[in-house]
Amino acid sequence: MRAIPPSPIQPGAAVYLLQRHDRQRFKVGWAVAPLRRIRSLPEFEALQLDIAASKVLWLPSRQRAEQVEGAVHKTLAPHAADAGHRRDGHSEWFQQLALPLALRALAQMPATDRTDRLARLIPVLAESPALDAVSIETGPVDTWWALEDLWSRIAMHGRVSVDMHGDAHRLVIHDFRHAWDGPVGALRREVMDLGTYRWHAADMHNEFVKLIDYSGDDLICTLASMRLIETWPEGGDLIWQVKGFLLRLQRQNEAVRLRRPAGLTE
């Protein structure tokens, strides 16, 4: 288990988004000292938490942290998840399918209720930024993690394939046009929202998906070229993460296709 360093003295308070290793659900809460709060949770005792993948939003006051937590909880209420216990913090867990919604909600929160300046979403293990250094910052790696989660959940309940169009990969969500109900339908808003695919970091911004369009009933998501992704922050490592995930999706699609009964057409 990776050791969590001692909590530094921090101004204000924070709202944190806590991930589990199994990605079954995530937690949104607030704390004056998030790392100390995390250590007190039963999930920490059980070694279930992925601290390195968790995020925190530092805010100037406890009051503002409580306001932001309440607003995000209200947004995520339809996606509440059973924590599997009734111990401390059990009511603040949400279904993993709502993770992109939570990340966007946190990244769009003003630092105070009297300013348009946006607080900065950073790794929970990172040193807190100065309170006057507020900005929206959800970088390409964070955005890609959210996309992997979104597309993996769709692939659990429907068919997702990957092909090439020129020098760009295309992710195809089959039969999506009429998928209004069920698990895939529940993700429709996230899939069709162009903001789902955008990242912002260090005064830079771009998007993983450059074009969304239908081909018959299939939704075609045309990705940014690998040459472009390689130029982004942490692009050298990110490009292998992107290629690896697309390859896994394609292999999963091939395995599903081979399991189809003989004589059953697409």
Please report, rounded to a whole number, the percentage of residues in the chain having pLDDT higher than 90.
45
Q: What is the model's pLDDT at position 88?
A: 84
The mean of the pLDDT values for the chain is 84
pLDDT in tens, 145-186: 888 888 988 998 889 999 988 778 999 999 999 999 888 988
Strand spans (E) along 43-159:
55-59, 93-95, 121-123
Separation CA 240–CA 252 (nearest Å): 18
Q: In the chain, how long is the greatest CA-to-CA distance?
A: 66
Tell me if the pTM is above 0.85. Answer: no
pLDDT, residue 265, reads 45
Express each pLDDT in 64-117 by its tens digit.
Answer: 899 999 999 999 999 999 999 988 889 999 999 999 899 888 888 887 766 556
- Provide the pLDDT confidence category of residue 8 given band limits of 50, 70 and 90: very low
**Domain spans, the chain:** 13-123, 140-259
DSSP 221: E
How far, rounded to the nearest angstrom, does the alpha carbon of residue 244 sit from its chain's CA centroid?
A: 18
SS3 state at 80: strand
The alpha carbons of the chain give a radius of gyration, in whole angstroms, of 20
